[in-house]
Amino acid sequence: MRLRNLKDKDILIDNCDYLIKEPTKLINNWKNEFNNNNPIHLEIGMGKGDFIYEMALNNPDINFVGIEKYTGVIARAIKKFPHKLANLRIINMDALNLDNVFNKEIETIYLNFSDPWPKKRNASRRLTSPIFLNIYENLFKKDKIIILKTDNLELFASSLINLSEFNYKFKDVNLDLANSDIVNVKTEYEKKFMAKGIKINYLVAIK
């Protein structure tokens, strides 16, 4: 469903004190932005921010960065969570440009309910396609950890294949997250899906 544009979108974005306006200037320098050496976790496609905001609240010793491509969506996240957390920053950008923002600084990447791009001709747009997995290679500090959640089995299957081909090993694979003992912070979409009884697929890939 298409989101209605917020009338105060530009005001929200211009005045948000945890939105990074020029992220490329922080490459190799994120520890100074956060003023510490804590691990940095990245959510790609943060949507309205439920997941990353709660993760930052619950994990003060981890720094979180959320990116979202669509300006209208990120404005809604700012409106929903107007107060700055010391360990949270957000960026309005396309994931294709991530290697201009981070260089061996990320410890974990979260991919929550990414667009499945179901048509075969659009498979390269999936956030676990080889194009994006190649970009992620240079973002990680040391070990590479990708945590994915999706309701879409086709995206989940293609992600398993692509991650395997990139030599990732699977620490966890689960086809019904709600009925597992995995500690889980839910996104807005996830709460709606679970209320309808839709099963959530989950994986942790490590390289």
The encoded tokens of residue 24 equal: 């490329």
Statement: 9-206 belongs to CATH 3.40.50.150: yes
Strand order in the sheet with 88-92: 88-92, 63-68, 40-44, 108-112, 145-150, 201-206, 169-174
d(CA 32, CA 166): 32
pLDDT value of residue 7: 77
Mean pLDDT by 10 residues, the chain (207 residues): 68 93 96 97 96 96 97 93 95 96 98 92 94 97 96 97 98 95 91 92 98
Is residue 62 exposed (0-12), middle (13-18) or buried (19+ Cβ within 10 Å)? middle
Q: What is residue 152's predicted lDDT score, i.e. its pLDDT?
A: 96
Choosing from 8, 61, 115, 181, the catalytic residue is: 115
Taking the whole predicted model, whether its pTM rises above 0.85 is answered as yes
Instruction: Give the domain ranges of the chain.
Output: 9-206
> Is residue 115 annotated as part of the catalytic site, yes or no?
yes
